[in-house]
Amino acid sequence: MVCMNSLQKKTKDLFNGITAKEIFYIFTFTILTLLLPLSFMLLAKFSDAQYYLQTLTWYHSPQHFPYVLTLALHINPLILYVLVSIISVASFIHVLTGKIVTLSDPSPPSSTVVQPRLYTAWVLLCTFQVCVGLGIEGSIEAGLYDSDESSFGVERSFLSRVIFLVGLHQTTQAWARMVVRPVVDDTVFGVEREVRLVERVVVAASLGGLWWWRLREDVESLVVMVEAKKEQLMDVRVSDFVGWWLYYLTLTIGMVKIVRVLIGMATVFLCRTSATISKVEHCEIDDKV
Protein backbone atom coordinates (compact mmCIF):
# COMPACT_ATOMS: atom_id res chain seq x y z
CA MET A 1 0.00 0.00 0.00
CA VAL A 2 2.86 2.37 0.88
CA CYS A 3 4.62 1.62 -2.43
CA MET A 4 1.38 2.21 -4.35
CA ASN A 5 0.85 5.58 -2.66
CA SER A 6 4.45 6.55 -3.35
CA LEU A 7 4.08 5.61 -7.03
CA GLN A 8 0.86 7.62 -7.32
CA LYS A 9 2.56 10.62 -5.71
CA LYS A 10 5.48 10.45 -8.14
CA THR A 11 3.11 10.16 -11.10
CA LYS A 12 1.13 13.13 -9.88
CA ASP A 13 4.30 15.20 -9.43
CA LEU A 14 5.46 14.20 -12.91
CA PHE A 15 2.38 15.58 -14.66
CA ASN A 16 1.65 18.36 -12.18
CA GLY A 17 1.13 21.83 -13.63
CA ILE A 18 1.08 20.83 -17.31
CA THR A 19 -0.96 23.26 -19.39
CA ALA A 20 -2.52 22.74 -22.83
CA LYS A 21 0.36 24.72 -24.35
CA GLU A 22 2.91 22.44 -22.69
CA ILE A 23 1.03 19.36 -23.90
CA PHE A 24 1.25 20.71 -27.45
CA TYR A 25 4.95 21.41 -26.85
CA ILE A 26 5.62 17.86 -25.63
CA PHE A 27 3.70 16.33 -28.54
CA THR A 28 5.54 18.44 -31.14
CA PHE A 29 8.91 17.91 -29.48
CA THR A 30 8.39 14.13 -29.36
CA ILE A 31 7.27 13.83 -33.00
CA LEU A 32 10.23 15.87 -34.28
CA THR A 33 12.66 14.00 -32.04
CA LEU A 34 11.53 10.69 -33.55
CA LEU A 35 12.72 11.89 -36.98
CA LEU A 36 16.20 10.59 -36.16
CA PRO A 37 15.24 6.97 -35.31
CA LEU A 38 12.90 7.06 -38.33
CA SER A 39 15.91 8.08 -40.42
CA PHE A 40 17.75 4.95 -39.26
CA MET A 41 14.77 2.83 -40.26
CA LEU A 42 14.55 4.54 -43.66
CA LEU A 43 18.25 4.04 -44.34
CA ALA A 44 17.79 0.35 -43.58
CA LYS A 45 14.86 0.17 -46.03
CA PHE A 46 16.87 2.04 -48.66
CA SER A 47 19.64 -0.51 -48.14
CA ASP A 48 17.12 -3.29 -48.81
CA ALA A 49 15.83 -1.55 -51.94
CA GLN A 50 19.31 -0.86 -53.30
CA TYR A 51 20.23 -4.50 -52.75
CA TYR A 52 17.11 -5.50 -54.69
CA LEU A 53 18.02 -3.13 -57.53
CA GLN A 54 21.56 -4.52 -57.64
CA THR A 55 20.18 -8.05 -57.73
CA LEU A 56 17.95 -7.20 -60.69
CA THR A 57 20.89 -5.63 -62.48
CA TRP A 58 23.04 -8.62 -61.59
CA TYR A 59 20.62 -11.02 -63.26
CA HIS A 60 19.77 -8.61 -66.12
CA SER A 61 16.09 -8.35 -65.21
CA PRO A 62 14.87 -4.81 -65.87
CA GLN A 63 12.15 -3.46 -63.61
CA HIS A 64 10.31 -0.13 -63.50
CA PHE A 65 10.03 1.50 -60.08
CA PRO A 66 7.85 4.41 -58.90
CA TYR A 67 9.34 7.83 -59.58
CA VAL A 68 9.08 8.79 -55.90
CA LEU A 69 11.06 5.71 -54.89
CA THR A 70 13.70 6.32 -57.57
CA LEU A 71 14.03 9.92 -56.45
CA ALA A 72 14.27 8.85 -52.81
CA LEU A 73 16.88 6.20 -53.55
CA HIS A 74 19.15 8.67 -55.35
CA ILE A 75 18.78 11.75 -53.11
CA ASN A 76 17.54 10.79 -49.65
CA PRO A 77 20.29 8.33 -48.67
CA LEU A 78 23.09 10.79 -49.43
CA ILE A 79 21.52 13.61 -47.40
CA LEU A 80 20.41 11.38 -44.54
CA TYR A 81 23.75 9.60 -44.29
CA VAL A 82 25.54 12.96 -43.95
CA LEU A 83 23.09 14.41 -41.41
CA VAL A 84 22.80 11.24 -39.32
CA SER A 85 26.60 10.89 -39.34
CA ILE A 86 26.98 14.45 -37.98
CA ILE A 87 24.50 13.81 -35.17
CA SER A 88 26.05 10.41 -34.37
CA VAL A 89 29.57 11.83 -34.17
CA ALA A 90 28.33 14.65 -31.91
CA SER A 91 26.66 12.07 -29.67
CA PHE A 92 29.85 9.97 -29.59
CA ILE A 93 31.89 13.02 -28.56
CA HIS A 94 29.41 13.79 -25.81
CA VAL A 95 29.25 10.27 -24.38
CA LEU A 96 33.05 9.91 -24.58
CA THR A 97 34.14 13.28 -23.21
CA GLY A 98 31.03 14.65 -21.53
CA LYS A 99 31.17 17.80 -23.68
CA ILE A 100 27.77 18.85 -25.01
CA VAL A 101 27.64 19.97 -28.65
CA THR A 102 24.83 22.48 -29.24
CA LEU A 103 23.75 25.00 -31.87
CA SER A 104 23.11 27.68 -29.28
CA ASP A 105 25.45 29.49 -26.91
CA PRO A 106 25.44 28.40 -23.27
CA SER A 107 22.82 30.60 -21.67
CA PRO A 108 20.47 30.48 -18.71
CA PRO A 109 16.90 29.27 -19.17
CA SER A 110 14.27 31.77 -20.35
CA SER A 111 16.75 33.52 -22.64
CA THR A 112 16.35 34.19 -26.34
CA VAL A 113 17.84 31.61 -28.72
CA VAL A 114 20.74 32.91 -30.84
CA GLN A 115 19.22 33.66 -34.25
CA PRO A 116 21.97 32.50 -36.70
CA ARG A 117 22.26 29.14 -34.98
CA LEU A 118 18.50 28.92 -34.70
CA TYR A 119 18.29 29.29 -38.48
CA THR A 120 20.81 26.46 -38.83
CA ALA A 121 18.64 24.27 -36.62
CA TRP A 122 15.59 25.17 -38.73
CA VAL A 123 17.39 24.19 -41.95
CA LEU A 124 18.54 20.85 -40.49
CA LEU A 125 15.08 20.09 -39.10
CA CYS A 126 13.27 20.94 -42.34
CA THR A 127 15.78 18.88 -44.34
CA PHE A 128 15.16 15.89 -42.09
CA GLN A 129 11.40 16.32 -42.42
CA VAL A 130 11.50 16.48 -46.22
CA CYS A 131 13.84 13.50 -46.53
CA VAL A 132 11.90 11.34 -44.07
CA GLY A 133 8.53 12.29 -45.60
CA LEU A 134 9.71 11.62 -49.14
CA GLY A 135 11.39 8.40 -48.08
CA ILE A 136 8.35 7.06 -46.23
CA GLU A 137 6.07 7.88 -49.16
CA GLY A 138 8.38 6.19 -51.67
CA SER A 139 8.92 3.17 -49.43
CA ILE A 140 5.21 2.63 -48.84
CA GLU A 141 4.46 3.05 -52.55
CA ALA A 142 7.07 0.42 -53.38
CA GLY A 143 5.73 -1.95 -50.73
CA LEU A 144 8.93 -2.06 -48.68
CA TYR A 145 6.92 -2.24 -45.44
CA ASP A 146 4.73 -5.16 -46.48
CA SER A 147 7.06 -7.75 -44.97
CA ASP A 148 7.57 -7.93 -41.21
CA GLU A 149 10.57 -10.25 -41.43
CA SER A 150 14.12 -9.06 -40.98
CA SER A 151 16.50 -9.14 -43.89
CA PHE A 152 17.59 -12.67 -44.87
CA GLY A 153 16.17 -13.96 -41.58
CA VAL A 154 19.36 -12.90 -39.76
CA GLU A 155 18.88 -11.59 -36.23
CA ARG A 156 21.38 -10.09 -33.83
CA SER A 157 21.57 -11.22 -30.21
CA PHE A 158 19.31 -9.66 -27.59
CA LEU A 159 22.33 -8.08 -25.88
CA SER A 160 23.53 -6.33 -29.03
CA ARG A 161 19.98 -5.06 -29.65
CA VAL A 162 19.79 -3.62 -26.15
CA ILE A 163 23.21 -1.96 -26.51
CA PHE A 164 22.19 -0.50 -29.87
CA LEU A 165 18.96 0.83 -28.33
CA VAL A 166 20.97 2.58 -25.60
CA GLY A 167 23.25 4.08 -28.25
CA LEU A 168 20.27 5.14 -30.37
CA HIS A 169 18.68 6.77 -27.32
CA GLN A 170 21.88 8.76 -26.71
CA THR A 171 22.04 9.79 -30.36
CA THR A 172 18.37 10.81 -30.28
CA GLN A 173 19.04 12.92 -27.20
CA ALA A 174 21.90 14.68 -29.01
CA TRP A 175 19.60 15.34 -32.00
CA ALA A 176 16.89 16.73 -29.74
CA ARG A 177 19.33 18.91 -27.83
CA MET A 178 21.16 20.26 -30.90
CA VAL A 179 18.29 20.82 -33.34
CA VAL A 180 14.78 20.07 -32.10
CA ARG A 181 14.73 21.85 -28.74
CA PRO A 182 16.01 25.26 -29.97
CA VAL A 183 13.41 25.30 -32.76
CA VAL A 184 10.46 24.16 -30.65
CA ASP A 185 11.42 26.39 -27.70
CA ASP A 186 11.60 29.45 -29.92
CA THR A 187 8.40 28.59 -31.83
CA VAL A 188 6.15 27.71 -28.87
CA PHE A 189 7.52 29.80 -26.00
CA GLY A 190 9.91 32.25 -27.69
CA VAL A 191 12.69 31.50 -25.17
CA GLU A 192 14.80 28.58 -24.03
CA ARG A 193 13.29 26.60 -21.20
CA GLU A 194 14.41 23.98 -18.73
CA VAL A 195 14.17 20.30 -19.67
CA ARG A 196 11.35 18.65 -17.76
CA LEU A 197 11.32 15.04 -16.65
CA VAL A 198 7.97 14.38 -18.34
CA GLU A 199 9.48 15.30 -21.72
CA ARG A 200 12.28 12.77 -21.28
CA VAL A 201 9.82 10.08 -20.17
CA VAL A 202 7.51 10.64 -23.16
CA VAL A 203 10.39 10.66 -25.67
CA ALA A 204 11.96 7.53 -24.15
CA ALA A 205 8.60 5.72 -24.16
CA SER A 206 7.93 6.73 -27.77
CA LEU A 207 11.38 5.57 -28.86
CA GLY A 208 10.85 2.28 -27.03
CA GLY A 209 7.51 1.77 -28.76
CA LEU A 210 8.99 2.52 -32.19
CA TRP A 211 11.89 0.20 -31.41
CA TRP A 212 9.61 -2.68 -30.41
CA TRP A 213 7.25 -2.14 -33.34
CA ARG A 214 9.72 -2.20 -36.27
CA LEU A 215 13.07 -0.58 -35.66
CA ARG A 216 14.74 -3.39 -33.71
CA GLU A 217 14.63 -5.69 -36.77
CA ASP A 218 14.66 -3.24 -39.68
CA VAL A 219 17.78 -1.37 -38.59
CA GLU A 220 19.87 -4.54 -38.71
CA SER A 221 19.74 -4.37 -42.52
CA LEU A 222 22.44 -1.70 -42.30
CA VAL A 223 24.98 -4.30 -41.20
CA VAL A 224 23.45 -7.52 -42.57
CA MET A 225 23.28 -6.18 -46.12
CA VAL A 226 27.03 -5.60 -46.30
CA GLU A 227 27.74 -9.14 -45.14
CA ALA A 228 25.23 -10.55 -47.66
CA LYS A 229 26.79 -8.63 -50.54
CA LYS A 230 30.26 -9.89 -49.62
CA GLU A 231 29.04 -13.47 -49.52
CA GLN A 232 27.42 -13.09 -52.97
CA LEU A 233 30.48 -11.28 -54.39
CA MET A 234 28.44 -8.15 -55.13
CA ASP A 235 29.82 -4.63 -55.12
CA VAL A 236 29.74 -2.96 -51.70
CA ARG A 237 28.95 0.70 -52.25
CA VAL A 238 30.03 3.68 -50.17
CA SER A 239 26.47 4.03 -48.85
CA ASP A 240 26.56 0.42 -47.64
CA PHE A 241 29.83 1.06 -45.82
CA VAL A 242 28.47 4.26 -44.23
CA GLY A 243 25.36 2.41 -43.05
CA TRP A 244 27.55 -0.35 -41.59
CA TRP A 245 29.70 2.31 -39.91
CA LEU A 246 26.66 4.11 -38.46
CA TYR A 247 25.35 0.86 -37.00
CA TYR A 248 28.59 0.05 -35.20
CA LEU A 249 29.15 3.68 -34.18
CA THR A 250 25.74 3.65 -32.48
CA LEU A 251 26.61 0.30 -30.92
CA THR A 252 29.86 1.82 -29.62
CA ILE A 253 27.98 4.80 -28.17
CA GLY A 254 25.72 2.38 -26.30
CA MET A 255 28.68 0.39 -24.97
CA VAL A 256 30.50 3.51 -23.79
CA LYS A 257 27.34 4.80 -22.10
CA ILE A 258 26.75 1.51 -20.28
CA VAL A 259 30.40 1.33 -19.16
CA ARG A 260 30.30 4.92 -17.88
CA VAL A 261 27.08 4.23 -15.95
CA LEU A 262 28.61 1.08 -14.41
CA ILE A 263 31.77 2.99 -13.46
CA GLY A 264 29.66 5.74 -11.90
CA MET A 265 27.65 3.22 -9.90
CA ALA A 266 30.83 1.46 -8.75
CA THR A 267 32.37 4.79 -7.73
CA VAL A 268 29.31 5.76 -5.68
CA PHE A 269 29.27 2.31 -4.05
CA LEU A 270 32.97 2.51 -3.16
CA CYS A 271 32.59 6.04 -1.81
CA ARG A 272 29.66 5.02 0.38
CA THR A 273 31.50 1.91 1.56
CA SER A 274 34.59 3.96 2.35
CA ALA A 275 32.52 6.53 4.23
CA THR A 276 30.77 3.79 6.20
CA ILE A 277 34.09 2.16 7.13
CA SER A 278 35.55 5.50 8.17
CA LYS A 279 32.49 6.23 10.30
CA VAL A 280 32.72 2.82 12.02
CA GLU A 281 36.46 3.28 12.69
CA HIS A 282 35.79 6.75 14.07
CA CYS A 283 33.11 5.38 16.38
CA GLU A 284 35.47 2.61 17.61
CA ILE A 285 38.14 5.18 18.36
CA ASP A 286 35.64 7.31 20.30
CA ASP A 287 34.56 4.22 22.28
CA LYS A 288 38.18 3.45 23.22
CA VAL A 289 38.76 7.00 24.32
Handedness of CA 92, 159, 35, 225 (dihedral sign): positive
Q: What CA–CA distance (Å, rounded) separates 144 from 163?
A: 26
pTM value is 0.81
- Taking 70 as the pLDDT cut, the residues of the chain under it are 1-17, 53-74, 100-114, 138-139, 141-155, 275-289
| 18, 58, 151, 192 from 24: Cα distances, Å | 10, 50, 37, 16
Q: What CA–CA distance (Å, rounded) separates 61 from 58?
A: 8
pLDDT digits (tens, 9 = 90+) for 36-82: 999 998 888 887 777 776 666 544 444 455 555 566 566 777 888 88
Burial tier of 148 (Cβ tally within 10 Å: 0-12, 13-18, 19+): exposed
Quick one: pLDDT at residue 44? Answer: 85
- What are the sequence ranges of the domains in the chain? 20-257
DSSP 152: G
Quick one: pLDDT at residue 137? Answer: 75
H or E, element range at 122: helix 115-142
